[in-house]
Amino acid sequence: MLEDAPERANAAVLEFDEVHKRFRSPSGEPLHVLDGISFAIRPNRFTALVGPSGCGKTTLMQLAAGLDVPTTGETRYMGRRVTEINQNVGYITQKPNLFPWYTMRQNVEFPLVLRGMAAEKRAEKLAEFLEIAQLEGFEDHYPHQLSGGMQQRAAIIRTLIYSPSVVLMDEPFGSLDAQTRMLMQHDLLRLWDQQQTTVLFITHDLGEAVALSDEIILLSKRPTRIKETIEVSIPRPRNIFEPYEMPEFVSTYDRVWGLFKSEVVPVQREVC
Amino acid sequence: MATSRADEAPSGVDPLRGIRRARSGAWRWATLLAPGVLLLVLWELGSGPLIREVYVSKPSEVGERLVELFSTGEIFPHLLTTGQELAWGYTIGVLAGVIGGYALGRSPALTRVFEPYIIAFYGVPKIALAPLFIIWFGIGIVSKIALAAIMVFFLVFFNVFMGVRSVDHELVNTARVMGASQRQLTRHVYLPGTMPYIIMGMRAAIPYAVIGVIVGEFTSAQQGLGLYMQRASTTFDPAGVFAGIGILLVFIVFANWLLHRLEGRVLRWRPSSGVQSGEAV
């Protein structure tokens, strides 16, 4: 499995190679979800995955994290085939998935504890990230005592705090209110700039995809193929708070929407 | 949604609060005790005019007997024996149940092989083993410990087994992706996730330990509360039987209270609304 990878200075961190995934639905019918997906994620880039619901975006994340295997084809991390849990990625799921038996502090510190980091160093990191997520003062609350948005923010910093080399984010801001969402987007970009990590980001929100990413991978309906890959060349740092002020935001958005529309709007309605 | 904030209201706001709280506390106790007191009164009055006293005795008689048993010290050797049997039987049963249930729950391979057996044995009335256990382990305390332990074991085992398997898989995956080793998974995810079921099993097992020990002593024993009660019933002494039951009652209430405190401590993280408590059945 560990075949020596050649020089990979600027090669892909994460690759999907002709990935097919079929499931069996509860009623026993086969469900063809991924129909030959191939793409590569280059290091330190912010890539957004956009597609209609049910098209297998989450499945792609699970393949990257090694939580699932493709029916055919393969997923590679740094040139090596992913065959078991991929501990090089950080995976922020749609649900916060905080441990209900730990306080917010214990939850956020959890990956650092797993790595045996000393208590003072943990406290330092914790303070830094709590400030970013604006969760100070709630350290000793249990998850059920936090609002949904706070839980999600805690879950996000729980992954960012240990700086995994690739961060997979599955609609991380979906449950947040508009203001918090904007702040979190802003902070995410700031952190990403500082930490130089690679991000693969699922979203339903085209505006979010355009505002945040370097590249948008547009997926079709099931059986899912890649419909288009769009470079987003809006200069950084980006202005999350007034996206429409950014050059090229509108034109990129229009282009993505134009491509996406046919996947989500039924054909008959498109005429009128 | 910081619910704890409500408790921080300054205490000077409502001067009647203390009195109100005390009154509501007294009311709670009154409603709690009323049915028991009513039962005792009916029993006291009904014994004689309604049912012959030789069948049911009466509370005043039972009370007198209890005083006598403790003042003469007659009951102490019995209590000591039964207490030891309960403590050992319960502890062994709980430990074996937790370890066994946990090991089986974590291993799909073991589960496949053993699950049908476990389910089959779970349904067997273990109490039927009492005479056999006397033959195997003698009429001393070991046979009672074994009987209590096996009854407790199955209950705890089953609860823990189900508990381990119901631990949220997404939480397990989250921890694995973050780099948790098998040992770290056990410590940080599986064990705390199973804890409600462990406590649940431990709670349900208390009366089973008592049944195991008392039935064992009924069957054959040299000393113990069960033996005392059995002698009392064969010599037409209902007061003695009820005195024994009274002592067991106090023990069960006390053990439940202890476990309730343990639960409050270990499961502090659970929402205190009653909704969740039905989850671990």
Among A175, A194, A170, A189, which Cα is nearest to A91's? Answer: A170
For position B11, what pLDDT does the model report?
44
Per the structure, the count of domains in chain B is 1
The pLDDT score that the predictor gives to residue B126 is 86
What does DSSP say about strands A166-170 and A89-92: parallel, antiparallel, or unpaired?
Answer: parallel
Using CB atoms, pick whichever of A85, A141, A144 lies closest to residue B176: A85
B38 lies in some domain? no
In a domain, B44, yes or no: no
pLDDT in tens, B5-15: 444 444 445 66
Yes or no, beta carbons of B188 and A97 under 8 Å apart: no
Whether residue B1 is contained in a domain is answered as no
User: Which CATH number belongs to the domain containing residue B105 in this structure?
Assistant: 1.10.3720.10
B177 and A95 within 8 Å at the Cβ level: the answer is no
- Give the mean pLDDT per block of 10 residues along chain A (272 residues): 49 91 86 91 93 88 93 92 92 92 95 94 93 89 90 92 92 85 87 86 91 93 89 88 87 90 67 44
Is the alpha carbon torsion for B91, B269, A122, A117 positive or negative? Answer: positive
| Domain housing B141 | 74-269
* Residue B66 in domain: no
Does residue A116 sit at the B interface (CB-CB below 8 Å)?
Answer: no
pLDDT digits (tens, 9 = 90+) for B221-246: 899 999 999 999 999 889 999 999 99
Flag whether B4 is in a domain. no
Which residue numbers in chain B have pLDDT < 50?
Answer: 1-12, 273-281
> Which among B216, B205, B88, B83 has a CA at the least distance from the CA of B152?
B205
Q: Which residue has the tokens 């995410």?
A: A188
Cβ-in-10-Å burial (0-12, 13-18, 19+) of A199 comes to buried
Kindly state whether residue B12 falls inside one of the protein's structural domains: no
Residue B179 lies in a domain: yes
The interface pTM score, or ipTM, of the predicted complex is 0.85
Q: Identify the residue among A82, A113, A114 best suited for mutation to test binding to B, counting B beta carbons within 10 A and taking the highest.
A: A114
B207 within a domain of the structure (yes/no): yes
The confidence score (pLDDT) of residue B154 equals 92
